[in-house]
Amino acid sequence: MEEVQAAIEIVKMPLEVGGKTIEISSRVISNSVETMINMVRFFSLLKEQLRKNYLAGELNLDKLLEKTQGDIQVFQFDEEKMEEVKAAFDKWGVTYAEAPELNENDQCREIFYATNAAPRVALLAEKLQAAGISCKTLTPDEYIKNADEEHKEELDSLVEKLTGKVNINDMNPEQQEFAERLEYNELLNDQSKQLFTINRKLVVEQDESKDYIVTRIPKTEKFVQMPKSYVYLKDNESTYCCFVDKKAELSVMDNKGNLIQTISAAELYCRHYDSSWKKRQQKNVPEKIKQEII
């Protein structure tokens, strides 16, 4: 299985802000399933807080989300210092909004601020710490992880929908997108699955009535049937990502559709998709037969 690398990814989701729908984005720096679930919790929290603020006539969060498109971070500090911290943010010209209290026992409070204000907030934090105020910056993921059990339960109703407890056809588009993201990340971390990344140009048959697609094996005139169970389109639909049980026996055919052999998914990957394996093999064979290794 290819190693999963942690990288910054922008996750987007539509939210109704200030009477109009805008696409809210948030930075994710981990491919873990838990992080993706926490992003679902975070977006659902923003939705609920916007609803509460609307009823109370408070618009700070609306303005912050409109200004930043949801690209925000969290600033945590001693709960007794709320007024001092807010005054400091005002003085430094940093737009903020109070964040919902998710942990009643940590004696801390949080506010949201724009990610692009991070350099100013870092300097501001130094000033506050020098004045004896304990504070630090959190990512949305860390903020959600710090929630107590009672508040996590309140946020989990949406997550339950996105983890297969309801039919995906009953979900709205953003829920479907998160459901697919969760499933994809679970598969990436499933050691029993082999991931094949296939250029769309190599796919020669995709019949909706069949439970597999047919794709040409790279640099050969052979073809393999890939199960459709877990197939995703990536890179603007130019790449197929196919997850297959490593022990599954796959059918390999010639260019006339005749069965040549069956081979395990793990072996097929090593021989035809793992460039490092082919390089090792080429180093260990005589020059005259190098061309036979594909």
Tell me the C-alpha distance between 26 and 35, whole Å. Answer: 12
Residues 36 and 93 in one domain: yes
Q: Give domain status of residue 125, yes or no.
A: yes
pLDDT in tens, the chain (294 residues): 333 444 556 666 666 776 667 666 666 665 566 777 787 788 888 888 888 887 777 788 988 988 888 889 999 999 999 999 999 999 999 999 999 999 999 999 999 999 999 999 999 999 999 999 999 999 888 999 999 988 888 887 655 654 554 455 555 565 566 667 767 777 877 889 999 999 989 998 877 788 899 999 998 999 999 998 888 888 888 888 899 999 999 999 998 989 999 999 999 999 998 865 445 544 554 443 333 333
pLDDT given at position 166: 47
Residues 15 and 118 in one domain: yes
SS3 201: helix
CA 88, 116, 19, 151 torsion: positive or negative? negative
Owning domain of residue 113:
9-161
Hey, how many other C-beta atoms are within 10 angstroms of the C-beta on 55? Answer: 8
To the nearest 10°, report the CA torsion of 124, 127, 129, 130.
170
Residues 213 and 123 in one domain: no
Count structural domains, the chain.
2
Element (H, E) at 283: helix 275-283
Tell me the C-alpha distance between 196 and 198, whole Å. Answer: 6
Residues 58 and 152 in one domain: yes
Residues 64 and 152 in one domain: yes
pLDDT given at position 214: 93
Tell me the C-alpha distance between 249 and 272, whole Å. Answer: 15
Residues 239 and 147 in one domain: no
Residues 206 and 143 in one domain: no
Tell me the C-alpha distance between 270 and 173, whole Å. Answer: 37
Q: Give domain status of residue 182, yes or no.
A: no
Q: Give domain status of residue 168, yes or no.
A: no
Element (H, E) at 158: helix 149-160
Residues 21 and 155 in one domain: yes
pLDDT given at position 249: 95
Q: Give domain status of residue 288, yes or no.
A: yes
Model pTM score: 0.58
Tell me the C-alpha distance between 33 and 264, whole Å. Answer: 27
CA 135, 51, 35, 2 torsion: positive or negative? negative
Count the alpha carbons within 13 Å of 72 in the hemisphere toward its beta carbon: 29
Q: Give domain status of residue 61, yes or no.
A: yes
Residues 41 and 108 in one domain: yes
Q: Is 123 exposed, middle or buried (0-12, 13-18, 19+ CB in 10 A)?
A: exposed
